[in-house]
Amino acid sequence: MKMITLIKTVLQTLNLYLRLKNRSFYVDLVEKSKSKQKDLINEIEKLRSDGGSDATDRADFLFRELVSEKQDIKHLSAINSITTEGSSSSD
């Protein structure tokens, strides 16, 4: 009986460790995304202030990339929210 309890405890500990690792990975992704978004916004503003045709085209391209980045992180947040809710309710 002690062996089963030990195995159960080890599995619970492993489960908690993996959740923490997953959360840490998610937070890192969000921070990198925010940094990338900030960089894109700054670059777009610089290009828009230049006012040239090539600069405007490049700014438009970067704007689409910014929108895509925001959608990606929103999707990732939704997935993380679902998995976090599911794992906490199973405890």
Tell me the per-residue pLDDT of 62-81, one tens digit each, with 9 for 90 and over.
Answer: 999 999 999 999 998 888 88
Given a cut of 90, whether residue 83 has pLDDT beyond it is no
Q: Say what the pLDDT of residue 80 is.
A: 83
- Whether residue 34 has pLDDT greater than 70: yes
Question: How do residues 39-67 score in pLDDT, each as one tens digit?
Answer: 999 999 999 998 888 999 999 999 999 99
Nearby residues of 19 by Cβ (< 8 Å), 6 or more positions away:
87
What are the b/e assignments for 33-43, b being 16+ CB within 10 Å? beeeeeebeeb
